[in-house]
Structure 1
Amino acid sequence: MPDLTDRTERFELIAACDDSTLVELAEDVLDGETPLKIVQEPKPQLLMHRVREPVERRPFNLGEVLVTAAEVSFAGERGFAMVAGKAETKAVSGAIVDAAVEADHDATERICTRLREAHTDREATRRRQWNESRATTVQFETMEDEDE
């Protein structure tokens, strides 16, 4: 299970979480009294997707990916989120959630529980889809002489 005190793992869960869950969690922590400042407006941008080729292990640029990043200041902490696609609301909500967890807000336990549940649901969906696609696997036979 992911450790949400590790920001890297938290960033991954926030980025993969669905929009409605992040908006709901962000709304839960916005009480109208704690000031929220948008440090970096959410702006869609292109980011180079770099991967490592498997044979010689050299990095190469696979292509560009559209992402939206946002940064906020909330409850004395900075929060950041970068999400796939053109998703300004999701990026700001994710940044608020990140800042709330970093500030150990009263809703931190609920936020962590919901992010873990979303992670578990996503993994179950991936496994189900993988198992469904495995049924379509094609087995190839070679026509080479097996005595060689």
Structure 2
Amino acid sequence: MVDPHDRSDRFELIAGCDGETLARFANEVLEEDPQLSVQQDPHPQLLVQQVTEPVERRPFNLGEVVVTPAAVELDGHRGFAMVPGKAERAALSGAIVDAAVAGGHRLSESMTAALERAAADREAERAQAWAESKHTTVDFRTMEDET
């Protein structure tokens, strides 16, 4: 289980959260006119995705993926987000949410609850997709034993 109060876990939760939820919370934070400084403008960029191949457990570069990072300082608290795809608004909103939670903003609990709900929804979708497709899985260990 991920902990939205742990910064590393929060990065993962923000990256998986939908942009509209992040934008809604960021707008609510910004309505209070806090001191905001954008440290890194959200610009899409390529990131090498590394995975581990299942048979010999060696890492290899699968390819490049597009991500959008952003960094802010909000009332003296740093915030960062990196979201998949070309999503400038979601990245900036995510960085604001990260900084707000780090600073104990009055909306922190509702933000972390929404991040947890989004993660639970994603996990339920993955479980459903796995249940629908697991019969097509190839067991590489079985293939190794046959050689």
Give the structure-1-normalised TM-score.
0.86
Alignment of 1:102 onto 2:106: no
Q: Secondary structure of the equivalent of 1:123? A: helix
Q: Secondary structure of the equivalent of 1:120? A: helix
The runs of 4+ residues in structure 1 deviating greater than 2 Å are 52-59, 136-139
Give the structure-2-normalised TM-score.
0.87
Cα distance in 1 for residues equivalent to 2:120 and 2:89: 23
The amino acid across from 2:68 in the alignment is T
Mark the runs of 5 or more structure 2 residues left unpaired by the alignment. Answer: 139-147
Q: How far apart are residue 56 of structure 1 and its match?
A: 3.3
Cα distance in 2 for residues equivalent to 1:26 and 1:47: 25
Q: Secondary structure of the equivalent of 2:33? A: coil
Change (3 A) 1:138 1:28: closer
* Higher relative helix content: 2
CA RMSD of aligned residues (A): 1.7
The amino acid across from 2:96 in the alignment is I
- Indicate the percent of aligned positions where both proteins have the same amino acid: 55
For residues 55-89 of structure 1, the C-alpha deviation after alignment (integer angstroms, 9 at most, x for no partner) is: 33332211111100000110211100001100000
Cα distance in 2 for residues equivalent to 1:40 and 1:82: 11
Task: Give the number of the structure whose alpha-carbon radius of gyration is greater.
Answer: 1
Cα distance in 2 for residues equivalent to 1:52 and 1:114: 31
For residues 6-37 of structure 1, the C-alpha deviation after alignment (integer angstroms, 9 at most, x for no partner) is: 11110001000011111111112113421111
Cα distance in 1 for residues equivalent to 2:129 and 2:137: 17
